[in-house]
Homo-oligomer: A and B are copies of this chain.
Amino acid sequence: MTLRTRDIELREPAGHGRVRLHFTPSGRDVRVPPGVTVFDAASWNGIAIDSTCGGHGTCRKCLVRIDDGNVPVSSLDIRAFSADQLRKGWRLACRAQATADLRVEVPPLVTRPKAATVGVGRQVILRPAVQKRYVKLDEPTLADQASDLDRLLAALDDLELRVDLEALRLLGRTLRAHDYGVTAVIVDDVLIAVEPGDTTARAFGLAIDLGTTTVVATLLDLVTGTPVAVSSTLNRQQPFGGDVITRISASMMEPTALDQLRSLAHETLDSLAREVSDEADVRLDEIYEVSLAGNATMVHIALGIDPEPLGVAPFIMAARALPEIRAGELGLSVHPGARAVVLPSLGAYVGGDIVAGLLASGMDRDRRLRLFIDVGTNCEIVLGNTDRLVATAAPAGPAFEGAQIRCGMRAADGAIEVVRIIDGALELGVIGDVEPVGLCGSGLVDAVASLVVAGLIDSSGRMVTEERAREIAPGLADRLSAIDGKRVFVLSDGPGGPIYLSQRDVRALQFAKAAIATGWSLLLDELGIGAEAVQQVLLAGSFGSYLSPASAIRIGLVPKLPVLRVVSAGNVAGEGAKMALLSVRERAGALALLHEVEYVELSDRADFNDAFADLLAFPS
């Protein structure tokens, strides 16, 4: 997709207004922002309409009939239909903008679409930007001197293609060396290569979740829609700081730091690309497109864009939607003509990773009122449903990453990740089944939640006296002690020394969860609803997905709801990146989110501190 930045601007401003489309014969009702095409609206909701050009208006196959409602005749409709058909309501779905409620008849499909299940149970109709077409051309003669390119394009007449110079350079030789039987490799509307013979069975894409800490790459077979290899690694930018702010600061201190950070990002990405292609026995030059979801800072740095304005008030991005770029701009040694699509960002602190997460969870297409929380140092919160979505970012601080926690550590071997008190006895779950060496974020939340339930931490967050502890939890009271004069609760006392939770750790967690709770409670206010209206809470992100829903409820990180309403959504950023590769429609959906989601800035809200103070305590 050519990201024409103005595509977005031409739509209505973000807001409440949606139009309703009723599709027959499926009987499905869907709601979309005004201005979305009938084709997109159908595609986003799993209703298949024939098309080979992917919505560029060139294949003229996406025929629908508008039974009720008004859609003006486009200049392409005039070429595709007779006057009588136009009168009867026939239109090309990819040109038909829904500006009011419509009733749309979809004819039976000529070709059976393939679909894949991705994200939070999303059914995605396969239509990657990458297309391969095998063609066998007639040899030129003196009577037919069409240029090689015209000859090739004539065989692809359902598409309107731009052409890369590199593809043109090898075209003549490839045609002549292979009897005019070649495979055109197309990404969106660009011919990027011409390969000898029929290579249509092999086309791959790389979906990347570029996290501040962890980077995950999934190699997708774009023909079948299935992942063929996955790999993850630490972001090599770590030495410059653990979170986005320290990395932005680094780039401000030292003129060469931005270049260094960019190179480290590129090395990280390329090492993953090589790993997954090795593992799946795929050549690097069979990877024709890359999608990348990351927070705004990671994306800016990876593209060599100065991130400084993201780090200082008023927190400004260079761009929300990024221009069409080559994968080489991300340091990836995939096919030289490969493109990269970068998921757009809503704001400096609600980045492409969140947009990907919203896409993967279908937040804007679901009627259920849902609360999406990506837990991390910067916590992103989105609330709403297909009618309206509001979002904010809450500065939770690094407690969940294990930083500034006395025995804190990342979720790696030796980290206590589960803490339970059963029949008055402490049970620990340790990653890698080894001796515990520290406490990771989910363990921290579990530990605090358990102690609150046991009464060893009161609702104000204070550890109770030893006397009181002996009274209410005699089997655990000994663990309440003091180290270096500070009150602690000892979780484990192995050969490496005690692993414990300190009073200060509890405070850090309180501040973090209060920031998050302030975020969602102000969003609830924004929609004018109470917490009980929330039908589902999605815990997302590399930390959120491992969190115990019960513990999250217990400490008040999420609203007090039946525990089954709180679910772990997994790595939704990575899933959204996959969806962008598998479907150009979903990719357009990511752009549409920029207009569907209203961003609520907390940092200048007068009511923030009040709400924060109210939410600091643990729920009783």
Task: With A172-B306, A323-B163 as known contacts, state yes or no: A145 contacts B348, CB within 8 Å.
Answer: yes
The answer to whether A168 and B322 touch across the interface, beta carbons within 8 angstroms, is: yes
The answer to whether A141 and B319 touch across the interface, beta carbons within 8 angstroms, is: no
A148 interface neighbour in B2, B165, B171, B317, Cβ under 8 Å: B317
Chain B CB within 8 A of A202 CB? no
Task: With A305-B168, A305-B169, A314-B141 as known contacts, state yes or no: A319 contacts B6, CB within 8 Å.
Answer: no
A168 interface neighbour in B4, B176, B318, Cβ under 8 Å: B318
Task: Provide the residues of chain B in CB contact with A58, threshold 8 Å.
Answer: 6
One digit per residue, 1 when the CB lies within 8 angstroms of any chain B CB and 0 when it does not, for chain A 275-298 equals 000000000000000000000000
Task: With A5-B161, A74-B75, A161-B6 as known contacts, state yes or no: A323 contacts B168, CB within 8 Å.
Answer: yes
A75 interface neighbour in B5, B75, B140, B142, Cβ under 8 Å: B75
The answer to whether B163 and A304 touch across the interface, beta carbons within 8 angstroms, is: no
Chain B CB within 8 A of A483 CB? no
Question: How many angstroms between the C-alpha atoms of A144 and B148 in the bound complex?
Answer: 51
CB distance from A52 to the nearest CB of B (A): 15
Question: How many angstroms between the C-alpha atoms of A161 and B160 in the bound complex?
Answer: 19
Chain B CB within 8 A of A173 CB? yes
The answer to whether B601 and A142 touch across the interface, beta carbons within 8 angstroms, is: yes
Task: Provide the residues of chain B in CB contact with A348, threshold 8 Å.
Answer: 145
Chain B CB within 8 A of A309 CB? yes
A306 interface neighbour in B173, B306, B313, Cβ under 8 Å: B173
Task: With A162-B323, A601-B142 as known contacts, state yes or no: A169 contacts B304, CB within 8 Å.
Answer: yes
Chain B CB within 8 A of A78 CB? yes
The answer to whether A148 and B316 touch across the interface, beta carbons within 8 angstroms, is: yes
Task: Provide the residues of chain B in CB contact with A316, threshold 8 Å.
Answer: 140, 145-148, 172
Chain B CB within 8 A of A188 CB? no
CB distance from A151 to the nearest CB of B (A): 8
Chain B CB within 8 A of A320 CB? yes
Closest to A153 in B: B5
CB distance from A320 to the nearest CB of B (A): 5
Chain B CB within 8 A of A72 CB? yes
Closest to A143 in B: B604
Given contacts A168-B319, A176-B309, 20 further A-B contacts (CB under 8 A): A3-B162, A4-B160, A9-B150, A74-B74, A142-B314, A145-B315, A145-B316, A147-B317, A149-B318, A150-B319, A162-B323, A165-B304, A165-B322, A165-B325, A169-B303, A169-B305, A169-B318, A170-B306, A172-B308, A172-B316
Q: 27 interchain pairs (CB within 8 A)?
A: A2-B162, A4-B162, A5-B161, A9-B153, A72-B75, A72-B78, A74-B74, A141-B314, A142-B601, A142-B604, A145-B314, A145-B316, A145-B599, A145-B601, A146-B316, A147-B316, A147-B319, A165-B304, A165-B322, A165-B329, A168-B319, A169-B304, A169-B305, A169-B318, A172-B308, A172-B318, A176-B309
